[in-house]
Structure 1
Amino acid sequence: MKANILNRVIKTLIFAFLCISCSSDLDFDQVNDLKLEPVFVANLAHFNVPANQFAVNGQAQQIASDVVDFDAFRKKFFNENLVKAELNFEIENTINRAFTLNILLLNDNDEVLQTIPLVIPAYSGSSNVIKYPTEVFENERLVLLKQTTKVGFLIQVASGPPIDENSLGNLKLRSSATVYMEIE
């Protein structure tokens, strides 16, 4: 019986202690001061064009082009919270010709908003991987980037040895984007 009374007293003291424990007022307005600054890295574009694709009907083409849709900025959340973007480009050329790659950022009316020119030296037998300086988009340049709905790739072939359907080598592009967001 004594154990039962002692057990009740201990339970009562613990309950009383829990009822009078320390507490403070919670400030739920702190959520209004919340500011998230996530950074995302993603693949942007890539291609691998064999040398023989620069020849059509046995004749070398001086210009090759392609346009692809780019709908990242159509998403309101992404468009409103993006504060900075960095584009990185790496090209490997194993074709014995030099090239110029113009990356065209286009709007809905196919108007060129920005051109990013990349000069590509001819392959000379050793590694020919070129990492270009990062293209940074902030302020006014970022405003133009946000209007981009299509990306065009315009490859101009420099003069040099003939290219035909038996030509060897490839022109490879790898690119990535690092985007900085601010969410309040």
Structure 2
Amino acid sequence: MVMKFFMSQSRSLLLPTHRFTEVVEEVEKLGFDPTTMNYLLAVNSLGMTSKSLWERKSGVFRSFGMSEDQILSALKTKPSYILSSENKIRKVMGFFVNELKISPLVISKAPGLILLSLEKTIVPRCSVLQLLMSKGVLDGDFNLVPALRITHKKFEEKYVSKYQNVIPEVVEAHRGKIQFRGFPFELKLD
């Protein structure tokens, strides 16, 4: 497992020895289990993120109401989420918090959401779901987070292909041709 990881993520091996040691110490201090893949992912992610960049990115998360504990909890769940650019974090968090009214706590429990493309995945999926809700196919018990987290293929099967014969616009929504205007009711978000 370790060799396979470092063969595919060799950039962390190119760090100067003192920096690599600092990163490993930080990962251990954060409580990562050294026998897990997340430990290696944390070494890689923190190794590619300078302390000042980590602070700037953490600042962006805090500006949307995420606490330091939530930022670290998200890191432990999905270390690679911190590799997103500051601009991407700002855009995705802005959409989640301001448009979808998703709390920072929910995002900290599902930090992989930060890695999704706003333009190619999040907004088109929300448009599909909005359309299905407006047609009465989905109701208020619908949980948005799993719908955003599933694979492209599963989403297409579950929400596009399944309904395209009765609601043909769902294909256009999935292609990003129908603008997302918000959900018609408050969603379950956990």
TM-score tier (shorter): under 0.3
Task: Tell me which of the two structures has the higher relative contact order, counting C-alpha pairs closer than 8 angstroms and 6 or more residues apart.
Answer: 1
More strand by share: 1
Return the TM-score normalized by structure 1.
0.20
Identify the structure with the greater helix proportion: 2
TM-score by length of 2: 0.20
**Between Structure 1 and Structure 2, whose CA radius of gyration is higher?**
1
